[in-house]
């Protein structure tokens, strides 16, 4: 009985940690982008409501810090994701975008 209770507790804690759209600390940059950003930037990064972010996009000459700041603090019509995403998740999504732009990701 005791064992079962701790199992249930562990399962509900795991579910709570998954919160925002099934994302967690293990989610890849691509998964985070698909769940959080693709609605405005398109899953192939070709843009829509928000600017194009993929290969050859206007932002492809911007430094890593520009991406981290834009995403965590928001910019213009784009909301801030600093509350919704963890630092790790933001890093992973930036890494995904830079890789799609054909760049190396350096912290
Ligand atoms: C509700 C729509 C929306 C969502 C969701 C959204 N963005 Fe944006 N994004 C925008 C808009 C609009 C801009 C242009 C902001 C401006 O300068 O006015 C923008 C700008 C950007 C820029 C700067 C692009 C450039 O050319 O300078 C980056 C990088 C970016 N978004 C990344 C992301 C990431 C990563 C996510 C997901 C975590 C995301 N966005 C989610 C709408 C969105």
Domains of the chain plus CATH, in order, are: 22-100 (1.10.760.10)
Ligand 1 centroid to 50 CA: how many Å? 5
The answer, yes or no, to whether residue 21 has pLDDT greater than 90, is no
The distance from CA 90 to its chain's CA centroid, rounded to whole angstroms, is 5
Confidence of residue 16 (pLDDT cuts 50, 70, 90): very low
* pLDDT tens digits, 40-58: 999 999 999 999 999 999 9
The answer, yes or no, to whether residue 17 has pLDDT greater than 80, is no
How many angstroms separate the CA atoms of 54 and 94, rounded? Answer: 12
Ligand 1 centroid to 87 CA: how many Å? 17
Protein residue with its CA nearest to atom 42 in ligand 1: 50
- Residue 78: CB atoms within 10 Å: 16
């Amino acid at each position: 009985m005791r064992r079962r209770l701790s199992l249930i507790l562990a399962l509900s804690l795991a579910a709570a940690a998954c919160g925002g759209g099934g994302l967690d600390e293990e989610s890849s940059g691509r998964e985070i982008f698909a769940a959080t950003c693709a609605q405005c930037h398109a899953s192939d990064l070709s843009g829509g409501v928000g600017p194009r972010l993929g290969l050859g996009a206007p932002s492809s000459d911007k430094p890593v810090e520009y991406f981290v700041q834009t995403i965590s603090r928001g910019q213009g019509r784009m909301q801030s994701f600093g509350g919704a995403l963890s630092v790790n998740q933001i890093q992973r999504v930036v890494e995904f975008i830079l890789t799609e732009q054909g760049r190396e990701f350096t912290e």
